[in-house]
């Protein structure tokens, strides 16, 4: 993950659309570059859609490492399994989750008990947040996201490593534990996603 305060390349990769609330003479990109210490207004973050989407952490834009085949497969297969097989749950891909007043995270997959959440973003703790690791991820950055999720009240965070075909379940009470039986579960035990659904079968 990268802090967006100095690099034009980094800002371009996240906010690559014209600002809606700035004048033609001052684009959002130019606004950010006016000062290396500039903070991005929350209204500008919420008013833009980017691909891939960025996170918003206390006024800073934070990039997410996505785009590799292994990451995409694990993300898509996890979402698809829940969508098709778990009728009591709603699943979404890369949906913004407001974990604090000035902090928005974007899990790779989010799983909500019941039907589709109301509104444009998720503002109440979902049942599960899923993070799929990329080779460029730093352990400290991933842990910061996990901490945010758990402090927000999300009962369970799944961390999936597609390259090593391993996964961990994080909870506030028990910390992290590796999944050794090949099944990812929620806190209540009524949601199960097997490794066979997440990882592509090796030839």
> Mind listing the pLDDT tens digit for each residue in 142-200?
999 999 999 999 999 999 999 999 999 999 999 999 999 999 999 999 999 999 999 99
| Average pLDDT taken over every residue of the chain | 84
The string of pLDDT tens digits covering residues 1-26 is 333 333 333 434 444 444 344 344 34
Q: Of the candidates 46, 47, 51, which has an alpha carbon nearest to the alpha carbon of residue 14?
A: 51
SS3 content of the chain, % helix, strand, coil (to 5): 25, 25, 50
Of 22-36, 71-85, 111-125, the one with minimum mean pLDDT is 22-36
Show the beta-strand stretches assigned E in 82-143. Answer: 89-93, 97-100, 103-105, 109-113, 128-132
Residue in 80, 69, 66 with CA at minimum distance from that of residue 194: 80
Domains of the chain by start residue, with CATH: 3-62 (no CATH), 69-198 (3.90.1570.10)
pTM for this one?
0.81
pLDDT mean over 89-100: 97
Q: Which residues is 178 bridged to in the sheet?
A: 168
Pairing mode of beta strands 183-185, 192-194:
antiparallel
Residue 135: exposure state from Cβ atoms within 10 A (0-12, 13-18, ≥19): exposed
pLDDT for the residue 184: 98
Q: What is the pLDDT of residue 53?
A: 86
Do 160 and 190 contact (CB within 8 A), yes or no?
no
* Residue predicted with more confidence, 136 or 160: 160
């Amino acid at each position: 993950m990268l802090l967006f305060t100095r690099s034009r390349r980094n800002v371009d990769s996240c906010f690559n659309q014209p600002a809606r609330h700035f004048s033609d003479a001052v684009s959002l990109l130019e606004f950010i570059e006016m000062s290396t210490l500039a903070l991005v207004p929350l209204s500008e973050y919420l008013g833009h859609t980017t691909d891939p989407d960025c996170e918003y952490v206390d006024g800073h834009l934070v990039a997410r490492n996505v785009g590799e085949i292994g990451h995409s497969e694990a993300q898509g297969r996890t979402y698809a399994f829940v969508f098709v097989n778990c009728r009591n749950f709603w699943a979404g891909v890369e949906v913004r989750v407001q974990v604090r007043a000035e902090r928005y995270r974007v899990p790779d997959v989010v799983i909500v008990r019941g039907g589709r959440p109301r509104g444009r973003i998720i503002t109440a703790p979902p049942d599960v947040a899923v993070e799929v690791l990329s080779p460029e991820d730093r352990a400290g950055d991933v842990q910061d996201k996990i901490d945010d999720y758990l402090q927000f009240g999300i009962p369970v965070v799944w961390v999936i490593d597609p390259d090593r075909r391993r996964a961990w379940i994080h909870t506030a009470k028990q910390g992290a534990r590796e999944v050794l039986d090949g099944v990812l579960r929620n806190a209540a035990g009524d949601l199960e996603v097997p490794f066979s659904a997440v990882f592509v079968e090796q030839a």
